[in-house]
Chain A
Amino acid sequence: QKEVEQNSGPLSVPEGAIASLNCTYSDRGSQSFFWYRQYSGKSPELIMSIYSNGDKEDGRFTAQLNKASQYVSLLIRDSQPSDSATYLCAVNEGNTGFQKLVFGTGTRLLVSP
């Protein structure tokens, strides 16, 4: 089984700060990467997807991918208390018409007012 690793946290940041979440993966052949946010008791919600090396920005969120280092990160700018959740990194192991996502254990983010 391919591995996806995240620091479980909690990562505590004050409101307005930048939160930096990191993820490493073991399968060098992986091609698609996802960040999901999961509030307690709720289902995962897709925040960002990234497929190419470099940065991808969407509002306050920036995903960064470095395939050579097998590293994916998520930056959350101007963090808000509503961003407090568990952030799951997921890597697609599949290479056909459907996905086979392997999730990291998640990083719990706490944003204090």
Chain B
Amino acid sequence: DTEVTQTPKHLVMGMTNKKSLKCEQHMGHRAMYWYKQKAKKPPELMFVYSYEKLSINESVPSRFSPECPNSSLLNLHLHALQPEDSALYLCASSLAGGIQETQYFGPGTRLLVL
């Protein structure tokens, strides 16, 4: 099973709302990633968790709050977002065994902030 699942598929939220994105994998991967992708742009790395510890935060605004409750689950909590945060949010995972490994992407959550 090489599947990374993400819920919800689509999300519409107002600027005062609080919502969460969820990502799950059962491949035994110990590195999990959040990316943001705007239309016609490449994915941009936001956060990396390795063995449930936050290893990289690419200077992401605090209105995005990641959480890794266990090795299979990754959340992204959203609060007070701006319309420019509307994008496709991608989760990915990899073994965390080295640089020569495959990173598997989930289908993404398409977020619209009104």
Interface residues of A (CB under 8 A from B): 31-32, 34, 42-46, 49, 51, 88, 92, 94-106
Chain B proximity of A30: nearest CB distance (Å): 9
In the complex, which of the residues A51, A94, A96, A99 has the most CB atoms of chain B within 10 Å of its own CB atom?
A99
Taken residue by residue from 75 to 114, chain B's Cβ proximity to chain A (1 for < 8 Å, 0 otherwise) reads as: 0000000000000101000101111111111111000000
Q: Does B8 contact A (CB under 8 A)?
A: no
Interface residues on B, range: 20 to 34
* Complex contacts, A106 vs chain B, CB 8 Å: 42
* Complex contacts, B99 vs chain A, CB 8 Å: 31-32, 92, 94-96, 99
Q: Does B56 contact A (CB under 8 A)?
A: yes
- Please tell me if the beta carbons of A104 and B107 are within 8 angstroms of each other in the complex: no
- Please tell me if the beta carbons of A99 and B101 are within 8 angstroms of each other in the complex: yes
* Complex contacts, B106 vs chain A, CB 8 Å: 43
Q: Does B55 contact A (CB under 8 A)?
A: yes
Known A43-B90, A43-B107; judge A98-B55 contact (CB<8 A): yes
* Complex contacts, A102 vs chain B, CB 8 Å: 45
- Please tell me if the beta carbons of A32 and B45 are within 8 angstroms of each other in the complex: no
With the chains together, A95 CA to B104 CA distance in Å? 18
Q: Does B21 contact A (CB under 8 A)?
A: no
Q: Does B50 contact A (CB under 8 A)?
A: yes
Known A46-B103, A88-B42; judge A97-B90 contact (CB<8 A): no
Chain A proximity of B59: nearest CB distance (Å): 11
Given A45, A51, A92, which contacts B105 in the complex, CB threshold below 8 Å? A45
